[in-house]
């Protein structure tokens, strides 16, 4: 037997042994873990989606953002319509040979290109403003809710308050969403 065939025989044997050991390990019965009971912890959860859908402060901020977005959209649409009309007029003038020189036509075309760029920059600016304000509003709402829950918990003594979105199942008696929502809406003063 030469060296090559001997080494491939050894490698084959190692592979078979490794495979049989893996098979033995994976065929062992899986032990199920018993549920761990946590006693003495006072736990509650909040349905954040339901909370936000009914929280007056969040609704007011959302409506304000929608009004601002609609206003921006109207301003941009009006500017875009004016620009499109000017482009159409420019194209008609080119077709009818209205411009006295090629330089005059190119100057008008450059002016329109600058207006188009300015319109795009205005759109980008509005998008950034809306995104920044949306992020700031989300931060305000989050801080308001977090601060309220901390105050609420001082008198209720929960060890753990979690979001329903991270739960697979929870007893409905642990749901404190309605209490939190009632307290948040009572504390909210519009126009503040």
> Would you say residue 29 lies in a domain?
no
Read off the pLDDT of residues 144-185 as tens digits, 9 standing for 90 and up. 999 999 999 999 999 999 999 988 898 999 999 999 999 999
> Would you say residue 157 lies in a domain?
yes
> Would you say residue 136 lies in a domain?
yes
Full domain range(s) for residue 62: 37-187
Read off the pLDDT of residues 52-83 as tens digits, 9 standing for 90 and up. 999 999 999 999 999 999 999 999 999 999 99
> Would you say residue 7 lies in a domain?
no
Count structural domains, the chain. 1
d(CA 101, CA 106): 9
> Would you say residue 158 lies in a domain?
yes
pTM for this model (two decimals):
0.70
> Would you say residue 13 lies in a domain?
no
Task: Indicate which CATH number applies to the domain containing 122.
Answer: 3.30.910.20
pLDDT score at 39: 73
> Would you say residue 182 lies in a domain?
yes
> Would you say residue 192 lies in a domain?
no
């Amino acid at each position: 037997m030469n060296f090559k065939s001997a080494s491939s025989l050894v490698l084959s044997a190692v592979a078979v042994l490794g495979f049989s050991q893996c098979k033995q390990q994976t065929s062992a019965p899986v032990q199920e873990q018993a549920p761990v009971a946590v006693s003495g912890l006072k736990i509650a959860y909040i349905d954040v989606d339901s909370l936000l859908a009914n929280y007056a402060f969040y609704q007011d901020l959302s409506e304000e953002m929608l009004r601002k977005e609609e206003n921006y959209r109207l301003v941009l649409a009006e500017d875009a319509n004016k620009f499109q009309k000017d482009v159409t007029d420019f194209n008609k003038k080119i077709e009818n040979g209205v411009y006295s020189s090629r330089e005059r036509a190119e100057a008008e075309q450059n002016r329109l290109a600058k207006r188009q760029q300015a319109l795009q920059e205005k759109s980008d600016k509005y998008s950034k403003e809306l995104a920044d304000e949306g992020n700031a509003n989300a931060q305000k709402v989050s801080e308001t809710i977090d601060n309220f829950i901390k105050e609420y918990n001082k008198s209720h003594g929960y060890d753990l308050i979690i979001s329903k979105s991270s739960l697979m199942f929870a007893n409905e008696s642990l749901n404190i969403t309605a209490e939190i929502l009632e307290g948040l809406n009572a504390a909210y003063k519009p126009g503040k």
